[in-house]
Structure 1
Amino acid sequence: MLAPERRNRIMQILNEHKQLLVKDVSLELGVSEGTLRNDLKILEEDGLLERTHGGAVLPKPHTPEYTFQSRSLTNQEEKKMIGKAAAKLVQNGQCLILDASSTSLELARHLVHYDYLTVITNGLATAQELTRNPHISVIVVGGVLRPGSSSLEGLLGKGLLGQIHADVFFTSAHGFTVTAGLSDFSIYEAELKKTMISNVSKVVALLDHSKLNRRSIASFAETSQIDTIITDPGADREFLDELEGVEIIIAD
């Protein structure tokens, strides 16, 4: 089991049981306690858990991030600004891919007023929003629906995505750093996004300030693959200045 997959499994166990013991999980995953402690240290640095004596627990401030509804309420005003700014990059007649993030949902709310778009998404809420306009063709990428989620995960839609050439891929992420690029909490979501990126002309990252200089478990896009980043006025300008070859748009 690779490290990203192992850490994803650790978080699945922790999310289910709210706490874990090193000795139990090391046996379940077939790794040494030292390896597991190192995983917990990395996950704690990413803000995904808090280590305790002999184990780990979910941090209270981050618990709401595990449901789509609660994530959509986090930095809501910033996400609305970013969604509005992203819509200005769209032209009628384009083929778009939107991920299942709450920020892409804000973008979708602006796209409802466009005509003759084709939108591919793995976000159920995004798809439902876009179907309000009969002139928008919505294609939903199949997958597994997780409890508390509004996204379809897995690679069941990989074949479909391989047949479609899209103009723009709009995606958010759990975190973004210069070295790790865009990264997500779920390795399955990350693998799906890698497929989405592989056949598009432009990648636009929708990142509120809390996502910047933050790393998660599984990377799905290198910094060199990103054409544009749209963020909010709260973004660290020094961090943004480190980026080369990426268009930066500050939403207002």
Structure 2
Amino acid sequence: MLAPQRRNQIMQILNENKQILVKEISQILNVSEGTLRNDLKILEEDGLLERTHGGAVLPQPPTYENTFHSRSQINQPEKMKIGRAAAELVQNGQCIILDASSTSLELAKHLFNHEYLTVVTNGLATAQELTKNPRINVIVVGGVLRPGSSSLEGLLGKGLLGQIHADVFFTSAQGFTLNEGLTDFSVYEADLKRHIVANVGQVVALLDHTKLNRRSIATFAELRQIDTLVTDDQADPEFLRSLDGVRVVVAGP
């Protein structure tokens, strides 16, 4: 069993039982306790659980305001630079898709002077920001609003997206590696993004340096599907040089 599949199973068991013990789950999944502890560590870093002595529990449901605000404050200067640089890639008259990330929100803030844009998003904060520009047509993808989430998740938006021929998809991710591509910890979000990637003209990844050479649970875009990476000047030069076929934009001061 591959690690992402195993971690998905761990989360399924945890969601059903609200708490798990390392000893019990290692027997159920037939893996060593050391491997399972490493899985729990990664899942905790992604905010999906809280480790306890001998196991793990589900985290306390956060409020929307606290969760999105705290996430948007992480590496905020880098996200602001990336958002500004990404806005320069947007042309008047295009149809673009923005994900619900805090980095895409920074991009949205720099679209105030653009004209005749159609922007599709599943991000609530992003949609509200875009409505400040009356020359932008904003389409919100439907879905389920989960506690602590800034996005509408699920498959309800697939029908709408199938009817839209977008020029560019601007997306962030929890991680980006050469082998796994762009990855996310939400399987619902990853599934929706996978559908978008398969139907859009170009994919532009908006990732600060902490997301590079790091992976999460579910892949939504392989390396060959990514056209452009916009990152900050702290990104590892060696990693950037290894991105064959991907245009790299390093956001300036």
CA shift for structure 1 position 75:
0.2
Partner of residue 147, structure 2:
147
Quick one: structure 1 residues 183 and 81, their matched pair in 2 at CA, closer, same or farther if it must change by over 3 Å?
Answer: same
5 Å-filtered alignment, 1:111-122, equals 111-122=111-122
**1:41 aligns to what SS in structure 2?**
helix
CA shift for structure 1 position 157:
0.6
TM-score w.r.t. the length of structure 1 is 0.85
**1:118 aligns to what SS in structure 2?**
strand
CA offsets, 1:187-239, max 9 Å, x none?
11000001111111110000000000000000000000000000000100111
Higher mean C-alpha displacement, 85-94 vs 38-47? 38-47
CA shift for structure 1 position 55:
1.8
Partner of residue 221, structure 2:
221
Partner of residue 123, structure 2:
123
CA shift for structure 1 position 178:
0.4
CA shift for structure 1 position 115:
1.0
Two-structure CA RMSD over aligned residues (Å): 3.1
Letter in 2 for 1:164: I
**1:97 aligns to what SS in structure 2?**
strand
In structure 2, how many angstroms separate the alpha carbons of the residues matched to 1:134 and 1:167?
A: 21
Partner of residue 62, structure 1:
none
Conserved 8 A contact 1:182-1:221: yes
Partner of residue 32, structure 1:
29
In structure 2, how many angstroms separate the alpha carbons of the residues matched to 1:193 and 1:140?
A: 14
Quick one: structure 1 residues 18 and 32, their matched pair in 2 at CA, closer, same or farther if it must change by over 3 Å?
Answer: closer
Gaps of 5+ in 2: 60-65
- Percent of aligned positions with the same letter in both sequences? 69
Letter in 2 for 1:203: V
Partner of residue 157, structure 1:
157
In structure 2, how many angstroms separate the alpha carbons of the residues matched to 1:236 and 1:194?
A: 26
Letter in 1 for 2:223: T
In structure 1, how many angstroms separate the alpha carbons of the residues matched to 2:129 and 2:14?
A: 32
Quick one: structure 1 residues 36 and 139, their matched pair in 2 at CA, closer, same or farther if it must change by over 3 Å?
Answer: farther
Partner of residue 63, structure 2:
none
In structure 2, how many angstroms separate the alpha carbons of the residues matched to 1:243 and 1:199?
A: 22
Higher mean C-alpha displacement, 49-58 vs 233-242? 49-58
TM-score w.r.t. the length of structure 2 is 0.85
Partner of residue 230, structure 2:
230
Quick one: structure 1 residues 12 and 148, their matched pair in 2 at CA, closer, same or farther if it must change by over 3 Å?
Answer: farther
Partner of residue 63, structure 1:
none
CA shift for structure 1 position 123:
0.2
In structure 2, how many angstroms separate the alpha carbons of the residues matched to 1:73 and 1:17?
A: 33
The yes-or-no answer on 1:41 pairing with 2:38 is yes
How many residues in Structure 1 have an aligned counterpart in Structure 2? 243
CA shift for structure 1 position 70:
1.0
In structure 1, how many angstroms separate the alpha carbons of the residues matched to 2:195 and 2:236?
A: 30
